[in-house]
A = this chain, B = another copy of it.
Amino acid sequence: MAKIHEVAAAAGVSISTVSYALSGKRSISPDTRRRIEEAARELDYRPNAGARMLAGRRTQIFALTEPFRADTHAPAHMAFVLATSIAARRYEYDILLLTEEEASAGMRRVASSGLADGVLVLDVAPDDERVDLARRIALPTVFIGVPDDHEGLVCVDLDFEAASALAVDRLADLGHRSIGFVGHPPTSYEKSNFPPRVRRGLEARAAERGVACTTVLPESDGPRRAPVRAAVRDLVEGGATALVLHCDDTSHAVALDELAALGRRVPQDVSVVSVGATFETSSFQPPIDSVPLVPSASCELAVELAMRMVDGGEVPAAVHLIAPEYRAHGSTAPPGGASG
């Protein structure tokens, strides 16, 4: 824990010069800079965090609020936390965790104690309690996800409607006239903010393209995930030549397994596209086309916006949608294989 004056002494300069040299906030002669950097390195010097917060006007910390809900999908959640942390570090920012009940109390606490420069909100619910709070506190806040009432808020998310539309377009372009949609369990459409958007986008674009679309929202439990299997069977036997999946990874695997059990080949007999997945769909057997939800994309944008706000820049209080991207892995083809 060397201090700045030790570095100054070692380099034979004043402490202000050390500060400027290390922050790069004013020009320093090459020679002086070199001596300072060397001294800093040898002493393993880093500015004291507390002093820096106090003297400078930033903490270099973002608070990350995440209510670990019981129904939170852990792997996806971890991916977002990790992506946020990595994105923040690019700007030399650290992440402070705010969990559970603490989500609200914590935001207040962090705001009034100046512990963080901004707040990133994860795992957003449609009627999220953190919405009101965000409007009240005077701290830059970015939602990663879109609550129902998002007026005046800065939100970041994948354009799920467009993602679904992309999937429908792909299938419609190939000639499919009837597609089946396997979604999350019904409760997800109330507790989470994005499943409804996927469904809406899908059904809307299907209607536009004159494609028949049947939606099933199977429970994700039961022995061998029977509901998912039944959904797949019903859809395929009902005439769907393509399946769009928006569900967890296990349900994906089960759906593929059921197709195999039914003797339907992918993509010859049935085309399959995954929408909004945070997991790798290319490692399924067979690999599945995907319009993924990429955590790093959302989190990087969120952090960038938060940084801009911290720097006093203008950031529109609006939903910042991320354009979806179609990733082909060979699971789609024109309809008409065996069932031709």
Kindly state the separation between the CA atoms of A68 and B95 in the bound complex, as whole angstroms.
15
From 152 to 207 in chain A, residues with beta carbon under 8 angstroms from any chain B beta carbon are: none
Kindly state the separation between the CA atoms of A152 and B85 in the bound complex, as whole angstroms.
30
Q: Identify the stretch in A20-28, A108-116, A142-150 within 8 Å (CB) of chain B at 4 or more residues.
A: A108-116
Q: Identify the stretch in A29-37, A70-78, A318-326, A332-340 within 8 Å (CB) of chain B at 4 or more residues.
A: A70-78
- Quick one: closest B residue to A112, CB to CB? B46
Give, as a whole number of angstroms, the nearest-CB distance from A306 to chain B. Answer: 16
Kindly state the separation between the CA atoms of A199 and B167 in the bound complex, as whole angstroms.
48
When the two chains form their complex, are residues A100 and B113 in contact, meaning their CB atoms are under 8 A apart? Answer: no
Kindly state the separation between the CA atoms of A100 and B77 in the bound complex, as whole angstroms.
16
Is A59 interfacial (CB 8 A cutoff)? yes
When the two chains form their complex, are residues A1 and B99 in contact, meaning their CB atoms are under 8 A apart? Answer: no
Kindly state the separation between the CA atoms of A209 and B257 in the bound complex, as whole angstroms.
44
The answer to whether residues A82 and B68 also contact, given A223-B257, A257-B223 and a CB cut-off of 8 A, is yes
The answer to whether residues A49 and B44 also contact, given A97-B85, A223-B257 and a CB cut-off of 8 A, is no
The answer to whether residues A97 and B96 also contact, given A48-B54, A53-B53, A257-B223 and a CB cut-off of 8 A, is yes
Kindly state the separation between the CA atoms of A194 and B29 in the bound complex, as whole angstroms.
55
Kindly state the separation between the CA atoms of A44 and B108 in the bound complex, as whole angstroms.
9
Is A94 interfacial (CB 8 A cutoff)? yes
CB-contact partner of A46 in B45, B46, B109, under 8 A = B109
Q: Which residues of B contact A313 (CB under 8 A)?
A: none
The answer to whether residues A115 and B102 also contact, given A59-B49, A78-B77, A109-B46 and a CB cut-off of 8 A, is no
A44, A50, A59, A108, most chain B CB atoms within 10 A: A50
When the two chains form their complex, are residues A81 and B97 in contact, meaning their CB atoms are under 8 A apart? Answer: yes
CB-contact partner of A74 in B46, B74, B257, under 8 A = B74
Give, as a whole number of angstroms, the nearest-CB distance from A167 to chain B. Answer: 26
The answer to whether residues A115 and B94 also contact, given A54-B54, A77-B74 and a CB cut-off of 8 A, is yes
Is A47 interfacial (CB 8 A cutoff)? yes
From 260 to 303 in chain A, residues with beta carbon under 8 angstroms from any chain B beta carbon are: none
Is A329 interfacial (CB 8 A cutoff)? no
When the two chains form their complex, are residues B114 and A48 in contact, meaning their CB atoms are under 8 A apart? Answer: yes
Give, as a whole number of angstroms, the nearest-CB distance from A10 to chain B. Answer: 16
- Quick one: closest B residue to A76, CB to CB? B74
When the two chains form their complex, are residues B97 and A95 in contact, meaning their CB atoms are under 8 A apart? Answer: yes
When the two chains form their complex, are residues A74 and B78 in contact, meaning their CB atoms are under 8 A apart? Answer: yes
CB-contact partner of A94 in B52, B72, B97, B111, under 8 A = B97
Q: Which residues of B contact A257 (CB under 8 A)?
A: 223-224
Q: List 22 A-B contacts (CB under 8 A).
A: A1-B112, A46-B109, A48-B54, A49-B114, A50-B53, A50-B54, A50-B114, A54-B54, A61-B96, A64-B97, A68-B81, A68-B82, A72-B78, A74-B74, A74-B78, A77-B78, A85-B102, A96-B96, A96-B97, A97-B97, A224-B257, A250-B250
